[in-house]
């Protein structure tokens, strides 16, 4: 499979970053308040912005499902989950540097074909930055922070570590964060034991975790599960990348 050049994206993002730094300084964001991205190279996060937000909501409304989160290392995550997440959310993950023009085009194309609002076109790295430190807000300032944090994640961590963090902090249903909690809640087994179909079901819920997850029988969710499974099987290159990360 031919890997597209990321040079235009690198140039564009470099120009944007230069301007955005000035904007962020102007909004009062100081270095002292900036997340220590480099610490994630060898230390797992103790919590995330999204987990804290859910915990606060549940403190106000105890009727919400309990918070479930259990970190597992890359070696205890099924290879199918890695394939499914990349196939569902960011097929260019292994060669872009944080941003994917192809994902944006694909999101628009899928929305037109399926006559629905566009799905999120953020890369896995962008989603990781948002989940760890930011909010669901679409404000310009929040997006600027996401851009800078995405660049730092890509420059500081390897692809395996970014994907490992993402799969451990992503939401897979109300109060369910990370693949281990999701695997045990929906299937009664560990994340390491999940097969291809189960992985596709979990990954298909990533765009809308509050409404799409195993056990939901809506036509839209079922169709997307099948699409993810089809992408996984067509993208043979994912096997070699996953094998490479296993030995990294």
CATH label of the domain that carries residue 168 = 1.10.3810.10
The pLDDT of residue 2 is 44
- Helix 124-133 vs helix 159-169: crossing angle, to nearest 10: 50
Residue 39 lies in a domain: no
C-alpha distances (whole Å) from 68 to each of 71, 85, 176, 248 are 10, 20, 5, 29
The pLDDT of residue 170 is 97
Residue 241: phi, psi to the nearest 5? Answer: -65, -40
Task: Compute CA 10 distance to the chain's CA centroid, rounded to the nearest angstrom.
Answer: 21
Residue 130 lies in a domain: yes
The pLDDT of residue 106 is 65
Reading the chain (248 residues) residue by residue, the pLDDT tens digits are 444 545 555 544 554 454 555 544 444 444 447 888 999 999 999 999 999 999 999 999 999 999 999 999 999 999 999 999 999 999 999 988 777 666 556 656 666 776 655 545 689 999 999 999 998 887 888 888 999 999 999 999 999 999 999 999 999 999 999 999 999 999 999 999 999 999 999 999 999 999 999 999 899 999 999 999 999 999 999 998 888 887 66
- Closest by CA to 176, choosing from 219, 133, 141, 205, is 205
Residue 171: phi, psi to the nearest 5? Answer: -85, 135
Check if the beta carbon of residue 189 is closer than 8 Å to that of residue 225. Answer: no
Check if the beta carbon of residue 74 is closer than 8 Å to that of residue 245. Answer: yes
Spatial distance between the Cα atoms of 166 and 128, rounded to a whole number of angstroms: 5
Residue 163 lies in a domain: yes
Number of domains in the chain: 1
The pLDDT of residue 135 is 87
Residue 2 lies in a domain: no
Range of the domain at 77: 7-29+46-246
DSSP 155: H
Residue 38 lies in a domain: no
Residue 1 lies in a domain: no
Structure tokens at 235: 């993208």
- Closest by CA to 103, choosing from 231, 238, 245, 226, is 231
The pLDDT of residue 27 is 46
Residues 6+ apart with CB under 8 A from 44: 71, 165, 168
**Single pTM value for the model:** 0.82
**CA-based radius of gyration for the chain:** 18
């Amino acid at each position: 499979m031919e890997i597209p050049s990321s040079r235009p994206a690198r140039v564009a993002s470099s120009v944007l970053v230069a301007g955005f730094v000035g904007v962020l300084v102007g909004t009062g964001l100081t270095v002292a308040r900036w997340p220590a991205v480099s610490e994630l190279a060898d230390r797992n996060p103790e919590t995330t912005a999204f987990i804290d937000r859910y915990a606060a909501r549940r403190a106000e409304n105890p009727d919400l499902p309990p918070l479930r989160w259990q970190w597992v290392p890359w070696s205890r995550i099924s290879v199918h989950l890695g394939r499914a997440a990349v196939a569902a959310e960011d097929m260019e993950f292994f060669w872009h540097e944080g941003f994917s023009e192809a994902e944006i085009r694909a999101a628009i194309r899928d929305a037109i074909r399926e006559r629905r609002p566009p799905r999120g076109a953020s890369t896995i790295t962008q989603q990781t930055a948002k989940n760890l430190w930011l909010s669901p807000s679409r404000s310009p300032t929040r997006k600027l922070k996401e851009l800078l944090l995405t660049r730092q994640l890509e420059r500081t961590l390897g692809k395996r570590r970014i994907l490992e963090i993402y799969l451990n902090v992503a939401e897979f249903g109300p109060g369910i964060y990370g693949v281990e909690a999701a695997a045990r809640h929906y299937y009664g087994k560990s994340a390491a034991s999940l097969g291809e179909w189960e992985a596709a079901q979990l990954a298909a819920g990533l765009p809308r975790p509050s409404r799409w997850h195993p056990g939901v029988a809506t036509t839209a969710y079922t169709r997307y599960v099948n699409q993810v499974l089809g992408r996984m099987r067509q993208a043979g290159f994912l096997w070699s990348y996953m094998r490479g990360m296993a030995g990294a």
